[in-house]
Amino acid sequence: MQTENTASSAKIAIVTGASRGLGRNTVLSLAARGVDSIFTYRANRAQAEQVAGLAAALGRQAIPLQLDTGDTGTFGAFAQEAGQALAALGAERFDYLVNNAGTSHHAAFDQITEEELDGLYQVHVKGVFFLTQRLLPLINDGGRIVNISSGLTRIVVPGSAAYAAMKAAVEVLTRYLAKELGPRRITVNTVAPGAIATDFSGGMVRDNPELNQRIAGMTALGRAGLPDDIGPMIAALLSEDNRWVNAQRIEVSGGMAI
């Protein structure tokens, strides 16, 4: 059994893929709730430093660490780096893990290559699986894990078969983790965003007015989603208020395609 943080009074999250988009919003939403973060970025250090600065402006620490979540061979070294970052925050362990990092993909089923499918699997399934496994010794008993899925596991949009299949695998993995980590009082849930106006997928929801309007027409609340619709929800789900929510897929789509 792991012990809980004693040296640090603040809760600490590890959020992957947080130099932009939903991950960035999650780190800042957590900071607004008094949570420090260790977050990953793949390549853009400058963007990551901006996130750290914005968290500091909210009075919290956010430490950026470089990580390619598709390269499982680096996870051991990353866990050591995370341990050092925790020490810098005055802690030995962390409380929340948000597996957010991902890549987009759009292609008709009959055009998808084996290489493309393998690349998606590396990041969205294998990466989530083994990074979580590697970080388990560092997460507190009573901690929380949120895996990011997609509305596309329910809403069928042609051209998204490979991506959606990977996210569906994550949803099943979430339920198994919830069962197996239950003895440590660790909850595990999936958050499945609908179409969100970020730079994901080349910014197509944000920057293509026709697509944005089409999504708005499919959504009960009459608009496409925004990062501010997702980050605060994840932060709330991680809080003690939602301690009894476990093994759930929670779609955050404004009522898309209902």
Catalytic residues: 163
Whether the CB-CB separation of 224 and 195 falls below 8 Å is answered with yes
The Cα 38–Cα 45 span in angstroms is 14
* Cα-Cα-Cα-Cα dihedral sign, residues 50, 95, 68, 119: negative
- Strand 139-148 to 36-41 pairing: unpaired
Greatest CA separation for the chain: 55
DSSP alpha helices (H): ranges in 33-154?
45-57, 75-88, 114-121, 127-135
Q: How far apart, in whole angstroms, are the C-alpha atoms of residue 247 and residue 152?
A: 19
**Could you tell me if 145 and 180 are in contact, meaning their C-beta atoms sit under 8 angstroms apart?**
no
Evaluate whether 254 touches 192 at the Cβ level (below 8 Å): no
Say how many CA atoms lie within 13 Å of 141 toward its Cβ. Answer: 9
Q: Is 234 helix (H, G, I), strand (E, B) or coil?
A: helix
Q: DSSP code of 196? A: B
What distance in Å separates the CA atoms of residue 91 and residue 35, rounded to the nearest whole number?
A: 13
